[in-house]
Structure 1
């Protein structure tokens, strides 16, 4: 093996290893660490009927426990709260309240917002259903003409302290994906520059990319299974976790598919280049 071949092979291996890290880290950064990506994924959970029902019950329970209703209106309040528990998701202002819930929760869990005393004392992941509690308060005020004060935040625990520690590590390292991506690009270019037959480098990069796509698919299924088996604090947390995992797998699967298609194109280009260069070499030998 010549030095050029060794350098080229080393570049291909390094490029694939760095790509194996860069793509999942980039997806996590764009879709979980960054607020807008998290809202895109978690926002759809508000349309799940089972999750809506559990969430509405939790919001109603929080509202009831945070206010002191006068005796004469308790029966009227009971009817209004039953309507909220069963029909809150049909209210026109529910989608905006749910989006605010998701945004507030992301900021609390990823440290993008100043924490209140209640949030600072918890060491677990939380879902802030305060916007939904305020939504119930507003509709309750419309029905009873009584406006009550409710807490600014109403936190529902989503897991154990170890889960929050994992999120903090992810939030620290995922944004560095571009370093791995830049390294993969430089390694690929170095492999191409050192190779005697650049088409073979493209073939190996394409094959490696297809292998990585399969590895990412298997890895996402494995990670989803591990996270899915983690203990949840309550029914709302369990539904949130399962639905979020399903949506996240689908989203990452789209990235994996794109990576597989790009790798396939690189492989085909490399094969075509190898065939063309082989024919040219044969003609040169004959002449």
Structure 2
């Protein structure tokens, strides 16, 4: 009976742990604004992303200037040159971080949720208005005119969101502490009930190794799955692909930490079992 109870709590702990780990990662790197900015800020170093973004910014900036058609045609090459070199502008890092924080607020922060053209909320909404404002400010300085920054310039990513993934991510993030505590309690109960605690400890370590490996492999599939979801905007496509790569890499680092913990428990259990056998 004790063996069956111990085995039950081992499975109980592993099942909750496999949910707690991605939930904790979501809380730290997606739902938390600072974590999201830290995760996505390096996308500005992606040449493919910044090149695609520059084209979109040039179009938005040209529309913001509101010049007569003849003048606009002459100004457009200048706008594109400024947009292509936006990453070298002094305030680019500030504008990019402002873009990320605005975008996070629209998606997770409880601000007004804006619908996409297809009639539903987008999975993620990127507000590039600060970047457009950076381009228009540079143009204004060159032409001696005052060009106001647009209030919002939105790029909907992932199409409509019938499952309300943002809200589900927030719910999972809120639950991870309770899940982690319950998993820990289950592991302790498994050891308390076990006839041979060293064996149970080794089984816990082996289970963590297996579940961590499955999560590591599964997370590696995320970029490919993200690329299968098409977007109307080239900026949305490139941003989504780059973000999926960074998210998968970040979560796999967490999985490696879990794998290391599993190895330690497995080794401790095996050593304990060998020592107990030698004493007998």
Could you tell me the TM-score, scaled by structure 2's length?
0.92
User: Are residues 82 and 227 of structure 1, via their aligned partners in 2, closer, same or farther at CA, if it must alter by over 3 Å?
Assistant: closer
Q: How many angstroms apart in 1 are the aligned matches of 2:244 and 2:101?
A: 18
Counterpart position of 2:135: 136
Could you tell me whether the CA contact under 8 Å between 1:213 and 1:256 is conserved in 2? yes
- 1:71, CA displacement in angstroms? 6.6
Counterpart position of 1:93: 91
Could you tell me whether the CA contact under 8 Å between 2:21 and 2:176 is conserved in 1? yes
Could you tell me whether the CA contact under 8 Å between 2:65 and 2:136 is conserved in 1? no
In structure 1, stretches of 5+ residues that fail to align are 282-287
Map 1:116-155 → 2, pairs under 5 A: 123-124=121-122, 125-155=124-154
Residue in structure 1 matching 2:46, options 45, 48, 62: 48
Q: How many angstroms apart in 1 are the aligned matches of 2:275 and 2:67?
A: 83
The superposition leaves residues 218-242 of structure 1 with CA deviations (integer Å, 9 ceiling, x where unpaired) of: 2212344323311223211111111
Aligned length: 278
Counterpart position of 1:268: 267
- 1:172, CA displacement in angstroms? 2.3
- 1:18, CA displacement in angstroms? 0.6
Counterpart position of 1:8: 6
Residue in structure 2 matching 1:66, options 60, 64, 67: 64
- 1:268, CA displacement in angstroms? 0.6
Q: Which has more helix, going by share of residues?
A: 1
The superposition leaves residues 96-120 of structure 1 with CA deviations (integer Å, 9 ceiling, x where unpaired) of: 111111111111011343568999x
Counterpart position of 1:25: 23
The superposition leaves residues 233-280 of structure 1 with CA deviations (integer Å, 9 ceiling, x where unpaired) of: 321111111111111111111111111111101111111110111112
**Structure number with larger C-alpha Rg:** 1
Could you tell me the TM-score, scaled by structure 1's length?
0.90
Could you tell me whether the CA contact under 8 Å between 1:127 and 1:157 is conserved in 2? yes
Q: How many angstroms apart in 2 are the aligned matches of 1:229 and 1:166?
A: 17
User: Are residues 225 and 115 of structure 1, via their aligned partners in 2, closer, same or farther at CA, if it must alter by over 3 Å?
Assistant: closer
Could you tell me whether the CA contact under 8 Å between 1:123 and 1:164 is conserved in 2? no
Counterpart position of 1:81: 79
In structure 2, stretches of 5+ residues that fail to align are none
- 1:78, CA displacement in angstroms? 3.0
User: Are residues 87 and 224 of structure 1, via their aligned partners in 2, closer, same or farther at CA, if it must alter by over 3 Å?
Assistant: closer
User: Are residues 231 and 118 of structure 1, via their aligned partners in 2, closer, same or farther at CA, if it must alter by over 3 Å?
Assistant: closer
